[in-house]
Structure 1
Amino acid sequence: MKEKKGIGESLGRLLKDPSSLALVLTSFIVLILFVIYPLIVVVFTSGFDNWGTFFSKPRYGRALLNTIVSSSLSAVTATIIGFIYAYAIHYSNIKGKKFFRVIAFIPLLAPSVMSGLAFLLLFGRGGMISHWLNSVFHIELDLYGLPGLWIVQTISYFPLAYMTITGVLRSISPNLEIAAQNLGARGFYLFRTITFKLALPGVINAFLLVAINCFADFGNPKLIGGNYSLLAVEIYGEIINNEPGLASVMGIILVIPALLVFWLQNKVLSKGSYSTVTGKPVSGLNRVTTSRKTDVLLFTFNTIISIFIISMFAITILFAFTKNFGRDNTFTLDHLMKVVFSSSSPAVLNSLVLSLVSAILAVAFALVLAYIVIRKPFPGKKLLDFSAVLPIALPGTFVGLALIVTFSKGPVVLQGTAALIVIAMLLKQMPVGYRGLTASFKQVDKSIEEAATNLGANSRKTLTTIVFPMLQKTVVANFVYAFMKNMNTLSTIIFLITPKWVVAAVSIFNYAETGTYYWAAAVAVGLMGATLGTLGVIKLIFRSKVKIFDF
């Protein structure tokens, strides 16, 4: 019997299943209220006068140009470094590969603003290296502005590029490379014609992901940028000056390149085909690796990057555990007791609580969305799907701006509450889980759920007793990702925090901006400790069901 289709038929089925109806309606309400509605409010808040102001002042035009230039430069260098770093691990015979993998993972435990803090401690005015260069060689080092921002964003986001590219390199079958080598291809020619072409989608994807993050970056430009102003910093200034209309204009303009990048990522890449046609790898074949001379160069490159990362974390730890490193190197726990464990400074605890709550809600909501979109026929499915993935294309700065403009007045006032911070975190991390769970649902046979339904289980019971256990690994993996990102987020929530609900990333930024670097370092160490501790507990609970520290 042919299955009936159409809006009327799907609506009729939905009405016969109260659990599914409740899930669909709840999903629409949440996405309309916190995604679509804030976008509309921002558009109407901008106003024609504010658009005129923006285009009439050269300062704002320079901020836009600076944003595009710095983000593009940082994305290019971060992608190049990420590719070389990943290539060295997967295509060379260098020693210490596990060590290099760990080093690439470490920056993900800390907010990007910590890179800005470490950069100030090393290369800022009065920084260790700056002071040494001045005292020994009489060189005045001034890296504030574009040079410093370029370096900091490259180091901050190169792990993102590395993680994206390493997944592609790992999945490339050695069959085609070995066949090309047997036909005479060697060295750079083999790399250029085979390996790089197969890895190109991952390289482009890494560039686009880094570019989106650089567009939204707020902390590093504010700390390092100096007079080199970016749109995210200008938006923050207008919110502080109570100019939501002008901030909305700049927020909309900031979204345009981000949406363009998102479109390229989803449309252009999907048209290209960069895959082998040789099927599964032949058993016993080993990947073509680099020459001994190239191994030396790759090992040197990875070592330099690792030393730079270790130095940035080491200087932060030294400032956290000494009275004032460089001036008074006496070991102390006073800074940690003051800004981490004191009841008057709950930033790290706030981050932990809000991140856990938001991560749980984000994964739960992503699971519900993926379930109803893949499994349930209902009108408006495409709209729901679009609304679910839209926040991933929006810079975090814009998400925070939209929420504060929308919910600081009107029928629903959430300004100053923990709920608004949780919602902001949820919106930014939920689309990643939604995409992953959507792909997982497509791989699970629908007949299992249909059998449960035939035995009398409604949608809620099917979701909790059948679907969730089957997708547990994916759910936990997305929870871990959401938790880590929430712990480190700054640009998304910078407009939303209050003295009561200040979080660790914001505290690091505030202390660094006022020059109390030892307190900023102590909060950074506390944040990383809390993140590692929580991940360790998750690993103990789920054991082999989730990979966290397996590099």
Structure 2
Amino acid sequence: MQESQNALYNEDSGFKRYFKQLKFSLRDPVLLVSVISVTIIVAMFIVIPLFSILRESVEATGTFSLKSYSAIFRSSYDLEIIWNTIKLGLVVATLGTAVAFLFAYATTYLKIPNKRFFKVLSILPMISPPFVISLAAILLFGRSGLVSYKLFGVRNDIYGFWGLALTQVLSFFPIGYLMLTNLLQNIDPSVEEAAQALGSNQARVFMTVTIPLMLPGLANAALLIFIQSLADFGNAIVIGGNFTTMAVQIYQQGIGSYDMQGATALAVVLLMISVLAFYLQNSVIGKKSYITVTGKASKQRIMNANKKVTIPVYIICMAISVTVVSMYLLVPYGAFVRLWGVDFSFTTRWIKYVLTIGMRYIKDTTILAALATPISAIMGIVAAYLIVRKDFPGKKALEWSILMAIALPGTVLGLGYVLTYNTPPLILTGSGFILVVALVIRSMPIGTRSAIAALKQIDPSIEEAASICGAGSQKVFISVTIPLIRPVFFSGLVYSFIRGMTLVSTIIFLVSARWQMLTVAIMNQVDQGLYGAANAYCLVLIVIVGGVMLLMNLFIKTLGINLNEGY
């Protein structure tokens, strides 16, 4: 009897809490409008497209059927593609994390020269299309490669598993490098120095102190790289060859073969793998950190100058750095070569081609990215503010939906938009609007996550004091909250523009005769073997992104804002 009363009391308390939140929301019109707006956007462009994919995958002639799933798991070809994707992800995550840790350790712990040069690697993949390294690898080591054919006279076939694994490792290890660098900087040097004072040598301290402290961070970085590898479409379609991954197969099956049911079923399987990896990263491993026990570094670290360690690490890091930078230097070189592999004479034909015929791609991409940038940054901040600072019905569901979008492979989301908005009552495919939406939805979750982390570091009493003085939610948000998290907001602007200019996996489903994107144009040129035009497009894209980043950083510095305090 007592248990029943307690259950009723707890249930009643839950209802009371729900109605209290609802009543408070209704009393604050700005909060209510914000919650409704963000919820509608998330529902329309994240939840409903995913539901459309799920529905399409289990419907056969209007009735419920799991035929498409059984076909996948009975097909040796589909099972091979699933295994290919997982195997590739595991290899890339392992190698990428190892390279990332080597670079992070070298720049944080070792006394070596050219550290700034190594840090440039963390920026290069951001300001370029995701498949630039694949294109460069083909130009260097392909059948007509500068190294393989011109230097050694070998018609090398770089396409396939190892070519794709190499390019993904070089493309994605900077993600792990940035994460691990921050974690290593936060280890208190006194912990390691105490171990050395007790008689341990540097190797023993590294194995028994540093590595155990970094294990959660290493697992976190590995899972993030694994998720990136699963979702990668650009590198896989450019250099994958006969080694097909799930992201590519979804596109080919849905758009090429018009088998939407089979494509959606495969998309759901890919989504489940990505979501499981994201859950492990976010909920299990992401919450474990031994570094916080020691707090932030209380003293400056004494750099390790032991040449037995510094020399081999420096040689490895320099070799990888030179390889990556050389690949990026091939882009401007290849843009001025008449015919790659045959005629290496200088020409400006490809640049002229891009600046005339390709000008439409440049204009469309820049306009759409510029439109999506402020929307994405503002929505990310607003969503984070609602999640951290406000209570309202459905808050947990909203938070989960937004953060889950980080794990969504771009091909899955793009396919969802085609299924949802290609038929009445709301036809959006083929319009610039759906492309802007895609760019916003792909960037907003990262901004939200960063803003949530920043808001949790700010004492709520600052905002409460403004409220007590009579300021409403809108006034508090604009006058108090935004100034406190300005670095995150401006970092969000920079990130959103870069993502808008370089996104490929989602928008490849959505481009039309009216609206085209640079990344899709580059892929079309690669597919036709026109490497000069592809390089010229890449060069223009990198110049635009780099130029806008430089201008935005100069503007941000004039405001006295340090972006390192943000993301």
Fold-level similarity (TM above 0.5): yes
What is the root-mean-square deviation of aligned Cα atoms in Å? 2.1
Letter in 2 for 1:113: F
The farther-off stretch of 25-34 and 464-473 is 464-473
Q: Distance in 1 between matches of 2:266 and 2:421?
A: 19
Partner of 1:263: 279
- Structure 1, residues 252-279: CA drift from partner, whole Å, max 9, x if none? 0101111111111122214534126455
1:499 to 496, 513, 516: 513
2:407 to 372, 393, 409: 393
The structure-2 alpha-carbon separation of the partners of 1:165 and 1:348, relative to structure 1 and needing over 3 Å to count, comes to: farther
Partner of 2:364: 350
Partner of 2:145: 127
What's the secondary structure of 1:129's corresponding residue?
A: coil
Instruction: Kindly indicate whether the alpha-carbon contact (under 8 Å) linking 1:176 and 1:276 is maintained by their aligned counterparts in 2.
Output: no
Instruction: Kindly indicate whether the alpha-carbon contact (under 8 Å) linking 1:321 and 1:333 is maintained by their aligned counterparts in 2.
Output: yes
2:211 to 177, 196, 199: 196
What's the secondary structure of 1:323's corresponding residue?
A: strand
Please tell me whether residue 460 in structure 1 is matched to residue 474 in structure 2. Answer: yes
Pairing of 1:69-88 with structure 2 (within 5 A): 69-88=87-106
* Residue 183 (structure 1) shift: 1.1
Q: Distance in 1 between matches of 2:450 and 2:295?
A: 25
What's the secondary structure of 2:131's corresponding residue?
A: helix
Pairing of 1:81-230 with structure 2 (within 5 A): 81-132=99-150, 134-135=152-153, 139-230=154-245
Instruction: Kindly indicate whether the alpha-carbon contact (under 8 Å) linking 2:187 and 2:295 is maintained by their aligned counterparts in 1.
Output: no
* Residue 329 (structure 1) shift: 3.7
- Structure 1, residues 262-307: CA drift from partner, whole Å, max 9, x if none? 1111222145341264555454x53351511211101100111012
1:67 to 85, 99, 103: 85
Identity %: 33
Q: Distance in 2 between matches of 1:350 and 1:189?
A: 56
Letter in 2 for 1:33: M
Please tell me whether residue 41 in structure 1 is matched to residue 55 in structure 2. Answer: no
Instruction: Kindly indicate whether the alpha-carbon contact (under 8 Å) linking 2:230 and 2:274 is maintained by their aligned counterparts in 1.
Output: yes
1:305 to 285, 310, 320: 320
Partner of 1:522: 536
Partner of 1:473: 487
Please tell me whether residue 424 in structure 1 is matched to residue 442 in structure 2. Answer: no
The farther-off stretch of 38-47 and 483-492 is 483-492
* Residue 383 (structure 1) shift: 1.1
The structure-2 alpha-carbon separation of the partners of 1:460 and 1:333, relative to structure 1 and needing over 3 Å to count, comes to: farther
Partner of 1:335: 350
Letter in 2 for 1:414: L
Q: Distance in 1 between matches of 2:253 and 2:464?
A: 54
Partner of 2:262: 246
Please tell me whether residue 382 in structure 1 is matched to residue 396 in structure 2. Answer: yes
Letter in 1 for 2:179: T
Aligned residues between the structures: 541
The structure-2 alpha-carbon separation of the partners of 1:35 and 1:271, relative to structure 1 and needing over 3 Å to count, comes to: closer
Please tell me whether residue 20 in structure 1 is matched to residue 31 in structure 2. Answer: yes
Q: Distance in 1 between matches of 2:561 and 2:388?
A: 24
Q: Distance in 2 between matches of 1:280 and 1:392?
A: 28
Partner of 1:359: 373
Instruction: Kindly indicate whether the alpha-carbon contact (under 8 Å) linking 1:348 and 1:530 is maintained by their aligned counterparts in 2.
Output: no
The structure-2 alpha-carbon separation of the partners of 1:271 and 1:540, relative to structure 1 and needing over 3 Å to count, comes to: closer
The farther-off stretch of 325-334 and 181-190 is 325-334
Q: Which TM-score applies when normalising by structure 2?
A: 0.91
The structure-2 alpha-carbon separation of the partners of 1:547 and 1:271, relative to structure 1 and needing over 3 Å to count, comes to: closer
* Residue 516 (structure 1) shift: 0.2
Q: Distance in 1 between matches of 2:365 and 2:382?
A: 25
Q: Distance in 2 between matches of 1:463 and 1:372?
A: 10
Q: Distance in 1 between matches of 2:227 and 2:182?
A: 20
Q: Distance in 1 between matches of 2:186 and 2:320?
A: 24
Q: Which TM-score applies when normalising by structure 1?
A: 0.93
The farther-off stretch of 182-191 and 117-126 is 182-191
* Residue 389 (structure 1) shift: 0.9
Q: Distance in 2 between matches of 1:276 and 1:377?
A: 28
Structure 2 unmatched ranges of 5 or more: 1-14, 59-65
Partner of 1:488: 502
Q: Distance in 2 between matches of 1:376 and 1:298?
A: 48
What's the secondary structure of 1:130's corresponding residue?
A: coil
Letter in 2 for 1:32: A
The structure-2 alpha-carbon separation of the partners of 1:277 and 1:449, relative to structure 1 and needing over 3 Å to count, comes to: closer
Pairing of 1:49-64 with structure 2 (within 5 A): 49-64=67-82
* Residue 52 (structure 1) shift: 3.3
Q: Distance in 1 between matches of 2:547 and 2:91?
A: 35
The structure-2 alpha-carbon separation of the partners of 1:468 and 1:343, relative to structure 1 and needing over 3 Å to count, comes to: farther
The structure-2 alpha-carbon separation of the partners of 1:373 and 1:282, relative to structure 1 and needing over 3 Å to count, comes to: closer
* Residue 356 (structure 1) shift: 2.6
Letter in 2 for 1:322: V
Q: Distance in 1 between matches of 2:246 and 2:298?
A: 51
* Residue 453 (structure 1) shift: 3.6
What's the secondary structure of 2:375's corresponding residue?
A: helix
Q: Distance in 1 between matches of 2:318 and 2:213?
A: 26
- Structure 1, residues 107-129: CA drift from partner, whole Å, max 9, x if none? 22112211111111111111111
